[in-house]
Amino acid sequence: MARTHGAVCKLCRREGMKLFLKGQRCFSDKCAISRRDYPPGAHSYRRGKISEYGIQLREKQKLKRIYGMLEAPFRRVFAEAERLPGNTGEHLLALLERRVDNVVLACGFALSRNHARQMIVHGHFTVNGSRMRSPSAVVRVGDSIAPGAREAIQKVVREAVEVNKAQPVPAWLQVDREGLKGSVVALPRREDVPHPIQEQLIVEICSR
């Protein structure tokens, strides 16, 4: 599992935007971007003009950090997006949105992406009734996602749902927060992606 062992708030400051890596903390006054809206490092203000390649690289790094991915898995997803007919950038974003860890987070069943990944790896969620242990698995239309039947897991998920009750549910998902069940009712479209990503820059750098 892709993990950042350091301070993840530095990643948000490096990209100059909220990546929402710490769940509800990112919406509070404790958010690092709110307090220190500049890149980390002692001499960050001395950095010169960024090149075209640097702009493309930053956009790719931003996307990888949002979805918690390392380079090799990201390249595999990009290769799959390239094989699909149509716009490669939009296919890339749709595949990332359909990852199980992202679906669990979007349904409000976890406090953060790392929390969602941890519970999935430990087998605390099911897809179509079968235990799922791969956060990177891609769901399809008609799939249903739910926490395991153990009381302790149900309690943790209900607490997350309560914390995330103000969070809007994407149009391509249907969530029963009382019954703790999410369903994929459509494929995500470009406008369903909540992050300000310039996918064409990512396609350009990954196609070199």
Residue 104 and residue 92 share a domain = no
**Chain-centroid distance, C-alpha 202:** 16
What's the CATH number where 146 sits? 3.10.290.10
Task: Report the C-alpha gap between 122 and 105 in whole angstroms.
Answer: 16
Which of 96, 128, 163 is the C-terminal boundary of a domain? 96
Q: In the β-sheet with 130-132, what is the strand arrangement from edge to edge? A: 130-132, 125-127, 144-147, 181-184, 173-176
| Reported pTM | 0.80
In 3D, which of 128, 126, 127 has the Cα closest to residue 149?
Answer: 126
Range of the domain at 108: 99-186
CB 15 within 8 A of CB 62: yes
Is the Cβ–Cβ distance between 198 and 154 less than 8 Å?
A: no
Whichever domain contains 72, its CATH number is 1.10.1050.10
pLDDT of residue 68: 87
> How distant is the alpha carbon of residue 113 from its chain centre?
6
Is 191 a domain residue?
Answer: no
Looking at residue 85, its pLDDT comes to 94
What pLDDT digit, counting tens, does each position of 102-155 carry?
Answer: 999 999 999 988 899 999 999 999 999 999 999 999 999 999 999 999 999 999
How high is the pLDDT of residue 77? 96
Query: What is the pLDDT, as a whole number, of residue 1?
Result: 44
